[in-house]
């Protein structure tokens, strides 16, 4: 579910290749590389677990990661014919392990597998349309409410962990050039919370409360910003972020507990499909040979 961590093809090496040392720095020590989001989410998980006992145990999260990685290896090898980069599968697994709460083990395996399988099953014009872990957890919440629930913990009882995660997350997302997505969504959520407050008569702070928890921070920093499943233009991404918040508002008015996941599930793929279609339409005339050349 993460920015920059997906298995999109790497850019071809530039004719003026950097030195080996520079390449090493770029690949492994640079602030902006594909390992950064997995590293960040791992840090969040470890800090949350050590300090606040986020997880009942590491077992379930490790199980989700192992299931995601195993299926990614199998499918990539058999369908694409090559070994995949595992950052994507790792981040899907860890996301499932954090966002899904269940007393049983099987939901973690199934959720990870559904997430990974969706990347190979639901494709259009060469792209997978759904954010894998968002689809996985949405399926679990919808079809297995008896054993699957969303993350419900908080960042302790002080404000500092929350502030630190917001600042660090924002800096990283800024670096990854997706901050405008987070900002648009957060601002829309807060604004629409006020609309919900007006419509329901319930306290505004209650309506805005969810965004102060870790679940939303993970959702904002790692899910709605996911490059492979977001549209190309900056304005388009901002529009989609707003639409996710808008659909979420309607779901919340219908008292749906897991509204953000369902909202992204409903808005993200159609938006991407439209974007791909529009891009294709624009590209086709350019691709046609010029009459003069014929």
Partner 1 sequence: MRMDPGRIGAIVLFVGLVAAVPILDGGTPVVGGRAARSRPSGAPSPAAAGARADARARYGLKLVDVTAESGIDFVHSAPRLDPKLDHIMPQIASMGAGVSAVDFDRDGWLDLYVVNSGEGSLNRLYRNDRDGAFEDVAASMGVADLNRPGTGVSMGTVWADYDGDGYEDMFLYKWGKSELYRNDAGKGFVRATDALGLPAWMNVGCAVWTDFDRDGEVDLFLGGYWPDDLDLWRLKSTRMMPESFEYAKNGGGNRMFRNKGDGTFEDVTAAVGLDSTRWTLCASAADLRGTGYPDLFVANDYGVSEFFANDGGKRFREIGKSTGVGQAPKSGMNVAFGDVFNDGRFSVYVTNISEEGVLIQGNNLWVPKEGTSGDELKYENLADSMGVELGGWSFGAMFGDLNNDGAQDLVLTNGYVSASRDASYWYDYSIIAGGHGAIIGDAKNWPAMKGASLSGHQQKKVWLNDGAGRFSEVAQAVGYDDLHDGRAVVLADLWNRGALDLVVANQRGPLLVYKNEVDPANGWIGFDLKGRAPNTSAIGAEVRLYWDGRVQLQQVSGGMSYSAQSPRRLHFGLGKAAKVDRAVIRWPSGSERTIEAPEPGRVHKVEES
Task: Encode the chain in three state secondary structure.
Answer: CCCCCCCCCCCCCCCCCCCHHHHHHHHHHCCCCCCHHHHHHHHHHHHHHHHHCCCCCHHHHHHHHHHHHHHHHHHHHHHHCCCCCCHHHHHHHHHHHHHEECCCCHHHHHHHHHHHHHHHHCEECCEECCCHHHHHHHHHHHHCCCCCEECCCCCCCCCHHHHHHHHHHHHHHHHCCCHHHHHHHHHHHHHHHHHHHHHHCCCHHHHHHHHHCHHHHHHHHHHCCCHHHCCCCHHHHHHHHHHHHHHHHHHHHCCCCCHHHHHHHHHHHHHHHHHHHHHHHHHHHHHCCCCCCC
Q: Is 195 in the site for partner 1 (CB under 8 A)?
A: no
Residues 103-122 that bind partner 1 (CB under 8 A): 103-104, 106-107, 110, 113-114, 117-118, 120-122
Q: Is 210 in the site for partner 1 (CB under 8 A)?
A: yes
Q: Is 46 in the site for partner 1 (CB under 8 A)?
A: no
Q: Which is nearer to partner 1, 239 or 273 (CB)?
A: 273
Q: Is 205 in the site for partner 1 (CB under 8 A)?
A: yes
As measured in angstroms, the least distance from the Cβ of 253 to partner 1 is 10
Q: Which stretch binds partner 1 (CB under 8 A): 26-34, 199-207, 269-277, 286-294?
A: 199-207
As measured in angstroms, the least distance from the Cβ of 104 to partner 1 is 6
Q: Is 82 in the site for partner 1 (CB under 8 A)?
A: no
Q: Which stretch binds partner 1 (CB under 8 A): 135-143, 181-189, 217-225, 268-276?
A: 135-143
As measured in angstroms, the least distance from the Cβ of 72 to partner 1 is 12
Q: Is 282 in the site for partner 1 (CB under 8 A)?
A: no
Given a contact cutoff of 8 angstroms between Cβ atoms, the answer to whether 100 and 148 are in contact is yes
Q: Is 22 in the site for partner 1 (CB under 8 A)?
A: no
Category of 255 on φ-ψ map: left (φ > 0), alpha (ψ -120 to 50) or beta: left
Q: Which is nearer to partner 1, 36 or 65 (CB)?
A: 65
Binding mask 141-160 for partner 1 (x = CB under 8 A): xxxxxxxxxx-xxxxxxxx-
Q: Is 218 in the site for partner 1 (CB under 8 A)?
A: no
Q: Which is nearer to partner 1, 3 or 68 (CB)?
A: 68
**Which residues make up the interface to partner 1 (CB under 8 A)?**
52-53, 55-57, 75, 78-80, 101-104, 106-107, 110, 113-114, 117-118, 120-123, 138-150, 152-159, 162, 200, 202-203, 205-210, 212-213, 215, 252, 254-258, 262
């Amino acid at each position: 579910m993460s920015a920059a961590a997906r298995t999109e093809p790497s850019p071809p090496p530039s004719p003026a290749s950097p030195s080996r040392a520079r390449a090493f720095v770029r690949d492994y020590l640079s602030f902006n590389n594909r390992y950064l989001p997995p590293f960040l989410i791992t840090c969040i998980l470890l800090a949350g677990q050590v300090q606040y006992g986020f997880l009942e145990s590491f077992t379930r999260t490790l199980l989700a990661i192992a299931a995601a990685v195993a299926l990614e290896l199998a499918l990539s090898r058999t369908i694409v014919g090559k070994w995949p980069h595992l950052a994507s599968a790792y981040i899907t697994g860890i996301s499932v392990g954090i966002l899904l709460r269940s007393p049983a083990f099987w939901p973690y395996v199934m959720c990870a597998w559904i997430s990974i399988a969706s990347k190979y099953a639901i494709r259009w014009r060469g792209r997978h349309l759904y954010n894998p872990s968002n689809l996985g957890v949405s399926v679990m919440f919808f079809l297995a409410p008896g054993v699957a629930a969303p993350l419900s913990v908080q960042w302790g009882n002080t404000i500092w962990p929350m502030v630190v995660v917001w600042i660090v997350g924002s800096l990283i997302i800024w670096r990854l050039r997706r901050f405008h997505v987070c900002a648009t969504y957060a601002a829309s959520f807060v604004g629409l919370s006020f609309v919900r407050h007006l419509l329901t008569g319930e306290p505004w702070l209650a309506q805005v409360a969810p965004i102060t928890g870790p679940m939303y921070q993970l959702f904002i920093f790692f899910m709605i910003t996911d490059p492979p499943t977001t549209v190309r233009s900056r304005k388009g991404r901002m529009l989609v972020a707003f639409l996710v918040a808008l659909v979420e508002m309607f779901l919340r008015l219908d008292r749906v507990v897991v509204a953000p996941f369902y909202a992204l599930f409903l808005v993200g793929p159609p938006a991407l499909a439209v974007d791909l279609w529009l891009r294709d339409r624009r590209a086709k005339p350019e691709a046609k040979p010029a009459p003069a050349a014929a």
